[in-house]
């Protein structure tokens, strides 16, 4: 019994092999670049002095999330006319007078949300904090609000942080 001589790959098999190799390499390069960006951090203003390490970014996001929750609690007890109408930026402040005994002032200092003007040298990534109303409250129904911390430049590593809250508290489920 005679077998034909091994003549190698056909042109179709070669084209499929090259396409599979190209797709694999593109995926490998994309994942490698993303992993490298995660470990090296990000540059916000394209200067090496302004680079965020990945651990600093995680800490800043965690701290910002906690402070947004605290700010949402403060805003949920305010009467509706006292809610801030404009966004909180580095040159403005939000004075929250919940009652005659509770008065808090919120600032955006060193690109992070804080209630204190004297702050450590740690840096955040927030450009502004805005309050959006999804559904306005009425006399018998609560309102749904979104408190959003927006970065200067959003990307795969820096996304806006959002807190959803309801007010007035007497109509909201706990």
- How would residue 138 be classed by pLDDT, with cut points 50, 70 and 90? confident
3-state helix, strand, coil in the chain (%, to 5): 35, 25, 40
DSSP three-state, residue 63: helix
Band (pLDDT 50/70/90 cuts) for residue 55 is: confident
Q: Which of 6-20, 30-44, 154-168 has the lowest mean pLDDT?
A: 30-44
pLDDT score for 58: 81
Structure tokens of 111? 């690109």
pTM for this entry: 0.67
Q: Note the pLDDT of residue 44.
A: 55
Q: Is the pLDDT of residue 57 over 70?
A: yes
Per-residue pLDDT, 50: 59
> pLDDT per residue over 72-124, tens digit each?
888 887 776 777 888 888 888 888 776 655 678 888 887 888 877 665 566 77
- Residue 164: half-sphere exposure toward Cβ, Cα within 13 Å: 5
Query: Does the structure show a pLDDT above 80 at 5?
Result: no
The arithmetic mean of pLDDT across residues 128-139, rounded, is 80
Give the SS3 label for residue 57: helix
CA angle 77, 165, 87 (to 5 degrees): 80
Confidence of residue 21 (pLDDT cuts 50, 70, 90): very high
């Amino acid at each position: 019994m005679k077998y034909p001589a091994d003549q190698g790959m056909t042109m179709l098999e070669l084209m499929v092999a090259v396409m599979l190799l190209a797709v694999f390499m593109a995926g490998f390069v994309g994942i490698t670049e993303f992993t490298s960006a995660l470990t090296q951090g990000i540059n916000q203003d394209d200067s090496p002095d302004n680079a965020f390490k990945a651990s600093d970014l995680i800490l800043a996001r965690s701290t910002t999330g906690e402070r947004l929750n605290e700010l949402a609690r403060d805003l949920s007890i305010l009467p509706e006319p006292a809610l801030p109408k404009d966004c909180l930026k580095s040159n403005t402040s939000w004075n929250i007078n919940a009652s005659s005994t509770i008065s808090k002032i919120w600032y955006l200092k060193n690109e992070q949300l804080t209630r204190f003007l004297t702050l450590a040298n740690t840096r955040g990534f927030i450009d502004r904090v805005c309050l959006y109303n999804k559904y306005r409250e009425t006399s018998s129904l609560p309102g749904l609000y979104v408190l959003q911390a927006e970065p200067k430049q959003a990307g795969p590593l820096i996304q806006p942080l959002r807190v959803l809250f309801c007010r007035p508290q007497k109509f909201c489920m706990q």
